[in-house]
Amino acid sequence: MKIALSQLNYHIGNFDNNVEKIIAEIKKAESLGADLVVFAELAVSGYPPRDFLEFRDFVQRCNRSIETIASHCTRVAAIVGTPVFNTHHKGKPLYNTAAFCYAGKVQHYTKKTLLPNYDIFDEYRYFEPNNEFNIIEFKGKKIALTICEDLWNVQDNPLYTINPMDELMKQQPDLMINIAASPFNYKQTETRKEVLFKNASRYKLPLIYVNHVGAQTELLFDGGSLAMDETGEIVRELSYFQEDFDLVDTDNLQKTEKHIQPNSSEIERIHDALVMGVKNYFQKLGFKKAILGLSGGIDSAVTAVIAAKALGAENVYNVLLPSRFSSDHSVNDAISLAKNLSSPYDIINIEKTFNALESTLKPYFKGLPFNVAEENLQARARGVLLMGLSNKFGHILLNTSNKSEAAVGYGTLYGDMNGGLSVLGDVYKTQVFELARFMNRETEIIPENIITKPPSAELRPDQKDSDSLPDYDILDVILYQYIENRKGPEEIVAMGYDKTLVDRILKMVNTNEYKRYQTPPILRISSKAFGMGRRMPIVARYLL
């Protein structure tokens, strides 16, 4: 059977756009002699639609969209992900389904069995799990059709008590098809391939896998759809971070010329994911231009480069906001970067604004010495100016804080934590340095001094990050163990780290949860990002 894999970038709730793209791919597959074309999980609605699924009108539009798509499936069949109503009057109101369309109508709905309800997933909030298992017979082939998580219960620590493929194997299928919405993290590619390999080799069936690509607010989807033969060897692998299309013959997979994507490093994946995330965020919101505060530090420099690649250098407005504490080299480094990128920039000295705030508050500060209050006034002055320019010209302000800072609260609410999108909020400081080196791999875009000088907020004389924080090489390891690996303090200390230091860092993380509740959406590139995938109470006493 000739099967087309269609890897598309969908837009949540944009039914006209999604349907138009799907129909165009159906016609393309038909022109190439395909028997079947496969699209991703919840393709019609986009993934994740979240509480849009609570609106009956939204699901009805999904249903009408599927009917329109099915009407174009006259000579080629299509598998398309969509929500449908649960008509049994028991359980959750919807099913997450794969519609099998042929001969102008929907012939069959396959319902998703395993509904993830961890990290960023919340499917059991909306969907009822499937409890009936049936293969699809088409053109002499028996297809075991599953949806994303349905193939993931083959790990060493299974989350579910049932395995859909074990049930479907009782009907002796000829091949597996899995439609997915598998979000990106920089380790997910290997994990995903391992899971798919386990399925193909365990059941000794060829496997067609189609994933989403593109960004949906903070969630990034990397694509990487593929076809495996019955031994688990990848025969075709589609592109990462862009739309793609391929056609395979499942009867001759082992004889098919292999097309595999080149290996990439974790830092390259992070880079490409962030560029895609920024680009899609602006496109899908209908914005074209970004603004950011360019300080001469590494975080804002890396953010500026990512934004320039995503939006075009001419669409990134860099604003330098020096104060009395800003060093000449920071200003000069920022100017050099803007010129290297050919991006517009302006210099707005915040001294008058800062002085006005200081003098206004002086009678009420009661003669207390200069401290973090005055430091934060500078950051908030910058935030006010950036937001003023953002409002005036309709630009989205990019937040430049990194994950290390966000974790320990090393940032100012309503100041440098402002923004419509956090580009680096899931990127540790040590990874930011890696990104900078990656960006400079061919030519110096980011001035070398930005990379090599000690990090500083420059909010008081001779300030360094190391005055307030441990060395980032140590801090980031401890943060990773606590945040991504969920290790407790005793476990981290047992790894060889000082107890006093570990206790201090973990206390900072938990104390500053209230700040993270007020940050912009953070592009997710790790397995545990701040935001919807990490839900912590603010008024708690754990490790404080």
Question: Per-residue pLDDT for the chain (544 aa), expressed as one digit of tens each?
Answer: 999 999 999 999 999 999 999 999 999 999 999 999 999 999 999 999 999 999 999 999 999 999 999 999 999 999 999 999 999 989 999 999 999 999 999 999 999 999 999 999 999 999 999 999 999 999 999 999 999 999 999 988 889 999 999 999 999 999 999 999 999 999 999 999 999 999 999 999 999 999 999 999 999 999 999 999 999 999 999 999 999 999 999 998 888 889 999 999 999 999 999 999 999 999 999 999 999 999 999 999 999 999 999 999 999 999 999 988 776 778 999 999 999 999 999 999 999 999 999 999 999 999 999 999 999 999 999 999 999 999 999 999 999 999 999 999 999 999 999 999 999 999 999 999 999 999 999 999 999 999 998 877 667 777 777 777 889 999 999 999 999 999 999 999 999 999 999 999 999 999 999 999 999 999 999 999 999 999 999 999 999 8
The token duo for 436 is 């900078």
Given the residues 148, 230, 284, 309, select the one marked as catalytic.
148
Query: How many CA atoms within 13 Å lie on the side-chain side of 305?
Result: 25
Q: Please identify which of the residues 21, 112, 289, 528 carries the catalytic annotation.
A: 112
Are the CB atoms for 269 and 427 separated by under 8 Å?
Answer: no
Pull the structure tokens for residue 282.
């602006």
Residue 464, pLDDT score: 77
Beta strands in 44-170 (DSSP E): 77-85, 94-102, 105-111, 136-138, 141-147
Amino acid, single-letter form, for residue 438? F
Report the SS3 class of residue 246: strand
CATH of domain 2-263: 3.60.110.10
Question: Where do the structural domains in the chain lie, given as residue ranges?
Answer: 2-263, 269-465
Annotated catalytic, 62? no
Cα–Cα dist 497/502, whole Å: 7
**Cβ contact 541:510 at 8 Å:** no
Catalytic residue among 2, 21, 25, 41: 41
CB-side exposure of 71: number of CA atoms within 13 Å? 8
pTM reported for the whole predicted model: 0.95
The pLDDT score that the predictor gives to residue 157 is: 84
What CATH number belongs to 269-465?
3.40.50.620
Q: In 3D, which of 412, 467, 437, 454 has the Cα closest to residue 327?
A: 454
How far apart (Å, rounded) are the C-alpha atoms in residues 535 and 531? 7
Left if phi > 0, otherwise alpha if psi is -120 to 50, otherwise beta: which for 241?
Answer: left
For residue 510, what are its two tokens? 């938990």
> Cα(94)–Cα(45) distance, rounded to whole angstroms?
13
In this prediction, residue 468 carries a pLDDT of: 76
